[in-house]
Amino acid sequence: MAALQLSLAVAPADSPPPAGPPAAPPEQVGHAPAMPELWLGVHLPQPDPALLQRLGVLAQRFTPRVSLEPPDGLVLEVQGSLALFGGAARLYRAFRAGCHAAGAAPVLTLAPTPLAALVAGRSGVSFKVLDSQHLVSAVSTLPLAALRWPPQVLQRLSRLGVYRVGQALRLPRAGFARRFGKETLQMLDQLVARDADLRPLFTVPERFRAKRQFVREREHHGEILQALQPLLRRLAEFLEARQCGITRITCRLRHRNQVHTDCVVRLAQPEAAAARFMEWFAERLGKMALPGPVRSLELRSGELLSRAPVPESLWRPGEHGGGGESGLLSGSLELIERLRMRLGEGAVHGLACEDSHCPEGASRPVSPVAPDFQRDASARPVTRQPARPLWLLEEPQQLREQEGWPQLAGPLRLRHGPERIESHWWEAHGIARDYYHATDGHGIAVWVFRERRPPHRWFLHGLAG
């Protein structure tokens, strides 16, 4: 089949015009008559890419040759499936029933060429042409607008009084090609099966799914993990063969009485190594309480994502510049992932400065940035601001006072200050503080403040570190 399509593809597009109505010219021998095609066209009244995708999956049940015509069209070649479904009429009805079940009411057409099926669907007419001999007469009445040519082409044709496909087919070929472009003529040829129409095939996104039934029920995490291992290894082989990775795996553990537990692992970057999967599942499963013994396991992958294989390096990262940038990058993210898996999502964060007058607001946790090795690290704003402590307390801690003087393991000794920090007057819970660098009784450098408003309490707010 593929070889045939190839030979069709190289057939000259601008062959001399056929003498009469479509008596097959000699250079098209081996074309349509040798392998008749029948296309089922699907036209959605409203463009809906998601629905189109679903119908594409549905169409895969009828034939492997499905191609999408976004945003509202779909064609499938059904000649090879006619015998299986018991004829064109039955296949047509079966497909229509499938569409209705999917909640769609598209216009369905049958034609020997995909373009004819699409164009007929767009013009909304009932169009069931099974035989290529009747094709030209059937398409002649279709409006040219349904071919979706550029507006200026259609406008110029309308000035000539040409509105229908039949009228365009009667125009001299050479002149038509010169005035409206070779592509336009080629589309006309494809419409009436004078030229090959090769379309990219729609393929259903691949997923991995594997199941394992136990002879006896398993209770312990260790046993379950052990049973999971061969499945994960198969998953890794599956991914390796496709040079893909996944970011989401679900393991469904089935118990008695139709009860099941889902163990979902999400990764920050596409992964394909069995050992890595195993590690994540060990981590996840270890934390889960299972409602009962497990009877079977089912592993399902999420969407397959393309994954650039990480070049292996002889040296470890950090050793003679080993690891390389990609290795360094993946290692950095992997560490974050591993820590988050055990300690929780919020437990790992980066730090950033915030433009805030209030000391508490000037530092905030951010999600760690993936290292950008190209960027020069030294490009950072240099701000001249009064010295700040390296540690800040979550909440200022009130200091005990003795004879009006703040105490922290003995009387505080103020060394520098005050630095006055005030928020804007319109802020409801504004601050008005005098900050001092001080030393406590142990000799530790601290950052304290005194409220400017009564009752003028003293607070510890930071440690110099």
Partner 1 sequence: MKTVLARLLEHPGIWRGRSFTRLDTLSSGFPELDARLAGGGWPKVGLVEILATHLGSGELRLLLPLLATVTQRPQARWCTWIAPPLNPYAPALAARGVNLARMLVVRAAKGPQRAPEWATEQALISGACDVVLTWITDPLRPRIVRRLQLATQRGRTLAFLLRPWSSRVAQEHSPALLRLGIEPRNGGVCLSILKSRGGTMGQWWMALDGAQAQAGG
Which residues contribute to the site for partner 1 (CB under 8 A)? 316-319, 321, 323, 325, 328, 331-332, 334-336, 338-339, 342-343, 346-354, 362-365, 368-369, 371-373, 376-378, 380, 383, 385, 387-394, 415-416, 437-439, 442-447, 462-465
The DSSP element (H or E) to which 411 belongs, if any, is none
| Cβ proximity of 418 and 435 under 8 Å | yes
Q: What is the smallest separation between the CB atom of 110 and partner 1, expressed in angstroms?
A: 60
**Which is closer to partner 1, CB of 208 or CB of 447?**
447
Residue reference for tokens 């309308």: 158
CA distance 461 to 363: 14
Q: What is the smallest separation between the CB atom of 387 and partner 1, expressed in angstroms?
A: 4
Q: What is the smallest separation between the CB atom of 363 and partner 1, expressed in angstroms?
A: 4
**Which is closer to partner 1, CB of 134 or CB of 316?**
316
**Which is closer to partner 1, CB of 380 or CB of 424?**
380
**Which is closer to partner 1, CB of 145 or CB of 329?**
329
Cα angle 429-432-434, degrees, rounded to a multiple of 5: 150
Query: Which string of DSSP letters, residue by residue, matches 177-225?
Result: HHHH-HHHHHHHHHHTTSS----PPP-PPP--EEEEEEEEEE-SHHHHH
**Which is closer to partner 1, CB of 53 or CB of 313?**
313
Q: Is the peptide bond before 418 cis (omega within 30 degrees of 0)?
A: yes
Residues ≥6 apart with Cβ < 8 Å to 375: none
Alpha helices in 70-113 (DSSP H): 82-85, 88-101
**Which is closer to partner 1, CB of 71 or CB of 321?**
321
Which of 111, 157, 155 lies closest to 135 in space, CA to CA?
111
Strand partners, 264: 250
CA distance 108 to 216: 52
Q: What is the smallest separation between the CB atom of 224 and partner 1, expressed in angstroms?
A: 22
Tokens of 263: 């163990």
Q: What is the smallest separation between the CB atom of 449 and partner 1, expressed in angstroms?
A: 13
76, burial (CB in 10 Å: exposed 0-12, middle 13-18, buried 19+): buried
CA distance 323 to 449: 48
**Which is closer to partner 1, CB of 391 or CB of 405?**
391
**Which is closer to partner 1, CB of 1 or CB of 382?**
382
Q: What is the smallest separation between the CB atom of 339 and partner 1, expressed in angstroms?
A: 6
CA distance 82 to 407: 93
Q: What is the smallest separation between the CB atom of 251 and partner 1, expressed in angstroms?
A: 23
CA distance 161 to 167: 9
Q: What is the smallest separation between the CB atom of 276 and partner 1, expressed in angstroms?
A: 13
